[in-house]
Amino acid sequence: MAGSDSNKRRKTSGKQGAYGRKGDVRGTAPVKKNTAPKQSPLPDLIRLNRYVANSGVCSRREADIYIAAGNVTVNGKPITEMGYKVKLSDQVKFDGRLLNPIKKEYVLLNKPKDFATSGRNERGHRMAIGLISKATKSELKPVGKLNKTSMGLVLFTNDGELSKRLNSPKNGLRKIYHIELGKPLRSADLKKIQEGLPVDEKVVRVQEISFVENAPKTQVGLEILSTRNNIARRIFETLDYEVIKLDLAVYAGLTKKDLPRGHWRYLTEQEVINLGMIQ
């Protein structure tokens, strides 16, 4: 599958509508052929300003200012020389904080059905990570899990700190699912879900649940704030409904708008900032 060109990144919509609106639970876009930018591994020696910038502290231009001011140390010694080069094995600190020169990357995939997001890449198993192989040479990992038979948004990153925060149980990340059931959802069961349904002896509170506009009663939209794995699917299975299709349309403010199934894109700078504000 082709990826989206980083020079043609699209901004996601800042406003999400109700479940019946096509932007959240449906929506298709023409497949566009794009190419990923070529990336090369870090050399043995790199300029100090690049090292600092790759760590996410600031831009290279700003790094030059901080270096000249003596804010950066290499192996315990302040360095103010412009163009100074360091080894990857050197210990570089900015205002006393140890830096990592590996540039943080964020790739959003609209996962198709029957691609696993976790587990070993065994022969015969299709892995979602393979769909973003052209996005970067860095080792990225998925944030959270999306069932193999489920579809929708999966965020991949090498930002371990962000991944840990997003996966923390105390963080209620906004997720919107488009779900198709094997039989119409009964009004009594819809009410049970609205009021809070026990799943594995723990009550699940949903933000909203409703039938998809102009669709059969087998299709519902579900908004939930939770980091529990596969919780949307388990809600309906607890009530003896077969989940035919589950599509994660919105994840932590990120949407699949203009992102065709099986394609990926880089997060915008603003999107990264927004995710970073989640504590």
Please write the tens of the pLDDT for every residue from 126-138. 899 999 999 988 8
Residue with tokens 């995939």: 109
1-to-24, 163, 228, 256 alpha-carbon distances in Å: 23, 25, 29, 16
CA–CA dist 173, 250 (Å, integer): 10
Is there a single domain that holds both residue 203 and residue 272?
A: no
CA–CA dist 256, 37 (Å, integer): 22
Residue 25 has pLDDT above 50, yes or no: no
**pLDDT given for residue 124 in this prediction:** 62
Q: What's the CATH number where 203 sits?
A: 3.30.2350.10
Instruction: Say how many domains are in the chain.
Output: 3
Q: Which domain holds residue 93?
A: 45-98
pLDDT band at 120 (very low <50, low <70, confident <90, very high): low
In a domain? residue 1 = no
Q: What is the mean pLDDT of residues 211-231?
A: 92
Mark which of 98, 113, 135 sits at the end of a domain. Answer: 98
Q: What's the CATH number where 258 sits?
A: 3.30.70.580
Residue type, 258: D
**pLDDT given for residue 88 in this prediction:** 85
Please report the DSSP string for 51-112 in residue order: HHHHTTSS-HHHHHHHHHTT-EEETTEE---TT-EEETTS-EEETTEEP--SPP-EEEEEEP
Residue 38 has pLDDT above 60, yes or no: no
